């Protein structure tokens, strides 16, 4: 029995309530790209994505050329390895669920594995720098956190690349992992990736996804629970400029009792043909009693000509839950707010900056990493200055 | 001495059927130290006058002049007017999510004063002004107007008035929706600013109630988009007894 709850209020853009999550994919999850037909663009999971701008990542024509530098800086207590594709630790978090993720899984040659030992409590973040030098690359990264360990991982994407990849997070029982993934690509980059987290018993996973750059960025964060008591917080922030396509598709599979999830994604858009897509799929399976979940998406449209597609979808197969809800709203920049601030002497650009900064502030405060928070706020201000200029 | 001069002001708004004239030739001079009450029935254009003076983009000035000490106010942007010394206490202050009152006040004071106030004296200044308006210190950490009660919104407007010390203060129905206690607290705030003798006050109201606390030097009756009668405080007493019926025959503008 599936129940679909209507979306929250909307003032602009398109909001719809989608099909049940398990009916949305056109092929079963698989490690093998051959198990997926080449998408033509009308499939539920591809219908918002400009396939012609993926540079062949989706149809097998994109030959790997390299040109991607991955550097890992890690404090003590962390093991960093580069391993072959046959390493048995890979692929445990979950299978690729679409053609591009499967293409990446079928094509990568070496994977980075970052292991945080059991009980280790890191005092410094692990920093993974992914820098593109213009080539086509298929990547794979695994972050493995031992039981009761605590770690923060910051993944920074910069430069130019055509990149398809999978990132796995395998979080041991009682462990805590915070991952910040920043997509600060050059303007022409294409990045399609699946991020799959397997959250252990009583473990906590916090994901912060920040997307500013690229021509097309399509990320697919997924959460699966390995045992009861798991908790996932997924925060996202995007700033979509003219011509950019930034798509975040989330899936939380509540297949285990007494787990929690909380999703909050916020985006600002400016400029002609800026396109942001947010899909929030939450599935509460019949065994997942005691589930508590909430998801939220907010979009702030700063100028004419931008488009938002926001599709929250909640499917509930058991009534024995603590709570389940979602909200989605897309609004224009509020001229009344601007007037109010300007009527107090604050110049136009500064007033606009205050409003946009305010829009993101609550979300940014939840990140809990002061240096990242400051960097994000600075980045938002740069984006705004670019638009004002 | 600062003087706001409004001469033959005509203002329209865009309606479905085309532009609709709301202000039809307003003449008014407000000098520093004076308090003018503008009273009138609903729909007479009082609030349009307030928002037009502040420069709200919804209102199109189609004729007339507004000057502050000879400077053309109508040529100024909204923020320039505020920095020149025009302050509008709004009837419906706007929520600004994610922007704290303390950040907002400091940003605003910095803009209006032309330099950032010194932190130590500023904190003291804000604290004292908030105490005088019986505002809890926790107020400063809340987001601007978000979740404020009607009374809190008005106190917050008057707090800004006290901190920004304008030359001309326009109070748009600051009394509406306030209970007696809140009205007294807010009025005392306005009076503290008036007692400095450095502000000209334009008090826009539907009711005479606030005039028990804030004594006007001049009272103007506003009807059909213009001032139709002017007098001293005694005119308010007449309105209290007789209402606006004498001025709205033939229909208000709305």
pLDDT digits (tens, 9 = 90+) for B80-95: 999 999 999 999 999 9
Closest CA of chain A from B188, distance in Å: 22
Picking from B78, B97, B98, the nearest residue to A342 by CB comes out as B78
* Yes or no, beta carbons of A343 and B93 under 8 Å apart: no
Domain boundaries, chain B: 3-247
pLDDT at B236 over 80: yes
* Chosen from B98, B166, B171 to mutate, greatest number of chain A CBs within 10 A: B98
pLDDT digits (tens, 9 = 90+) for A159-201: 999 999 999 999 999 999 999 999 999 999 999 999 999 999 9
Chain A positions contacting chain B at CB under 8 Å are 334-337, 339-348, 350-351, 354-355, 357-362
3-state secondary structure chain A: CCCECCCCCCCCCEECCCCCHHHCCCCCCCCCHHHCCCCCCCCCCCCCCCHHHCCCCCCCCCCCCCCEEEEEECCCCEEEEEEECCCCCCCCCCCCCCHHHHHHHHHCCEEEEEEECCCCECCCCEEEEEEEEEEEEEEEEEEEECCCCEEEEEEEEEEEEEEEEEEEEEECCCCEEEEEEEECCCCCCEEEEEEEEEECCCCEEEEEEEECCCCEEEEEEEEEECCCCCEEEEEEEEEECCCCEEEEEEEEEECCCCCEEEEEEEEEECCCCCEEEEEEEEEECCCCCCCEEEEEEEEEECCCCCEEEEEEEEEECCCCCCEEEEEEEEEECCHHHHHHHHCCCCCHHHHHHHHHHHHHHHHHHCCCCHHHHHHHHHHHHHHHHHHHC
* Pairs across A and B, CB distance < 8 A: 79
* Helix, strand, coil content of chain B in percent (nearest 5): 40, 30, 30
From the list A347, A353, A359, the residue with the least C-alpha distance to A382 is A353
Nearest chain B residue to A355, by CA: B96
Alpha carbon distances (Å) from A347 to A336, A337, A339, A352: 14, 13, 10, 9
Among the partner residues B55, B83, B96, nearest to A340 by beta-carbon distance: B96
Stretch among A88-97, A356-365, B188-197 having the lowest mean pLDDT: A356-365
Are residues B108 and A344, on separate chains, in Cβ contact within 8 Å? yes
**Shortest Cα distance from A377 to chain B (angstroms)?**
13
Contacts of A339 in chain B (CB under 8 A): 54, 56-57, 78, 94
By CB atoms closer than 10 A (0-12, 13-18, 19+), residue B79 is buried
CA dihedral B219, B222, B228, B229 (to 10 degrees): -10
Digit-coded pLDDT (tens) for A107-155: 999 999 999 999 999 999 999 999 999 999 999 999 999 999 999 999 9
Please give the Cα distance from B4 to A376 (Å, whole number). Answer: 44
Residue A228: C-alpha distances to residues A113, A200, A201, A202, B180 (Å): 26, 8, 5, 6, 56
Q: For residue A363, what is the nearest residue in chain B, using CA coordinates?
A: B98
Q: Tell me the pLDDT band of A25, cut-offs 50, 70 and 90.
A: low
B55/A354 CB distance under 8 A? no
A259 to chain B, closest Cα gap in Å: 30
Supply the ipTM of this predicted assembly.
0.95
> What are the φ/ψ torsions at residue A155 (nearest 5 degrees)?
-110, 120
Among A348, A361, A362, select the one facing B79 at the smallest CB separation.
A348
Q: A63-77, A148-162, A275-289 — which is least confidently predicted?
A: A63-77
* B97 contacts A346? CB cut-off 8 A: no
CB contact under 8 A, B111 and A339: no
CB contact under 8 Å between A346 and B107, yes or no, is yes
pLDDT in tens, B208-233: 999 999 999 999 999 999 999 999 99
What pLDDT score was predicted for residue A234?
97
Which chain A residues contact residue B54 at CB under 8 A?
339, 343
Taking CA atoms, what residue in B is nearest to A358?
B98
Q: Check B107 against A343: CB less than 8 A apart.
A: no
| pLDDT at B70 > cutoff 90 | yes
Supply the pTM of this predicted model: 0.83
pLDDT reading at A348 higher than 90: yes
Of the candidate ranges A33-42, A370-379, B43-52, B99-108, the one whose mean pLDDT is the lowest: A370-379
CATH number of B3-247: 3.40.50.300
Q: What's the confidence (pLDDT) of residue A12?
A: 39
Residue in A237, A341, A345, A377 to test binding to B, most B beta-carbons within 10 Å: A345
Q: Cβ of A335 and B57 within 8 Å?
A: yes
* Residue A291, pLDDT score: 97
Alpha-carbon distance B164 to nearest alpha carbon in chain A (angstroms)? 8
Q: Say which residue the tokens 């493995």 belong to.
A: A144
Predicted confidence at residue A388, as pLDDT, reads 52
């Amino acid at each position: 029995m599936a129940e679909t709850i209507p979306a929250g209020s909307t003032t602009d853009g398109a909001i719809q309530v989608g099909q049940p999550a398990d009916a949305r994919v056109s092929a079963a999850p698989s490690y093998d790209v051959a198990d997926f037909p080449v998408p033509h663009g009308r499939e539920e999971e591809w219908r918002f994505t400009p396939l012609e701008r993926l540079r062949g990542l989706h149809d097998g024509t994109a030959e790997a050329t390299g040109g991607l530098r991955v550097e890992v800086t890690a404090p003590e207590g962390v093991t960093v390895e580069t391993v072959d594709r046959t390493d048995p630790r890979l692929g445990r978090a979950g299978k690729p669920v679409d053609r591009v993720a499967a293409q990446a899984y079928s094509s990568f040659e070496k994977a980075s594995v970052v292991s945080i030992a059991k009980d280790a409590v890191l005092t410094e973040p692990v920093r993974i720098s992914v820098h593109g030098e213009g080539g086509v690359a298929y990547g794979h990264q695994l972050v493995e956190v031992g039981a009761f360990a605590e770690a923060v991982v910051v993944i920074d994407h910069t430069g130019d690349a055509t990149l398809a990849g999978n990132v796995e997070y395998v979080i041991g029982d009682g462990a805590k992992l915070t991952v910040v993934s920043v997509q600060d690509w050059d303007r022409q980059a294409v990045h399609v990736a699946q991020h799959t987290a397997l959250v252990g018993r009583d473990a906590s996973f916090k994901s912060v996804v920040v997307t500013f750059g690229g021509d097309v960025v399509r990320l697919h964060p997924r959460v699966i629970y390995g045992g009861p008591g798991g908790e996932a917080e997924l925060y996202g922030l995007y700033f979509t400029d003219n011509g950019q396509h930034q798509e975040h598709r989330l899936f939380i599979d509540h297949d285990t009792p007494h787990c929690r999830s909380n999703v909050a994604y916020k985006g600002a858009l400016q400029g002609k043909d800026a396109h942001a897509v947010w899909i929030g799929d939450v599935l509460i399976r019949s065994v997942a009693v005691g589930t508590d979940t909430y998801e939220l998406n907010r979009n702030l449209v700063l100028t004419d000509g931008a488009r938002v597609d926001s599709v929250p979808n909640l499917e509930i197969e058991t009534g024995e839950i603590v709570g389940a809800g979602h909200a989605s709203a897309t609004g224009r920049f509020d001229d009344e707010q601007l007037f109010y601030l300007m009527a107090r002497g604050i110049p136009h650009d500064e007033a606009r900056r205050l409003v946009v900064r305010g829009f993101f502030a609550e979300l940014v405060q939840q990140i809990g990493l002061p240096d990242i928070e400051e960097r994000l706020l600075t980045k938002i201000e740069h984006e705004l200055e670019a638009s004002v200029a | 001495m600062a003087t706001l001069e409004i001469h033959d002001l005509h203002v329209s708004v865009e309606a479905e059927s085309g532009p609709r004239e709301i202000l039809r030739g307003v003449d008014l001079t407000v000098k520093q130290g004076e308090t003018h009450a503008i009273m009138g029935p609903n729909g007479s254009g009082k609030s349009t006058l307030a928002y037009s003076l502040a420069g709200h983009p919804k209102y199109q000035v189609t004729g007339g002049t507004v000057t502050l000490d000879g400077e053309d106010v109508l040529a100024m942007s909204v923020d320039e007017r505020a920095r020149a010394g025009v302050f509008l206490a709004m009837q419906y202050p706007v929520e600004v999510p994610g922007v704290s009152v303390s950040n907002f006040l400091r940003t605003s004071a910095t803009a209006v004063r032309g330099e950032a106030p010194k932190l130590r004296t500023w904190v003291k200044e804000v604290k004292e002004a908030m105490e005088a308006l019986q505002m809890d210190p926790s107020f400063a950490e809340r987001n601007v107007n978000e979740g404020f009660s009607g009374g809190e919104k008005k106190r917050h407007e008057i707090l800004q008035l006290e901190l920004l010390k304008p030359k001309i203060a326009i109070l748009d129905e600051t009394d509406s929706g306030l209970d007696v206690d809140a009205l007294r607290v807010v009025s005392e705030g306005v009076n503290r600013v008036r007692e400095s003798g450095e502000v000209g006050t334009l008090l826009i109201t539907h009711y005479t109630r606030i005039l028990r606390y804030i004594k006007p030097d001049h009272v103007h009756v506003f009807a059909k988009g213009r001032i139709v009668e002017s007098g001293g405080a005694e005119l308010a007493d007449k309105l209290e007894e007789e209402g606006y019926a004498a001025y709205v025959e033939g229909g208000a503008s709305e």
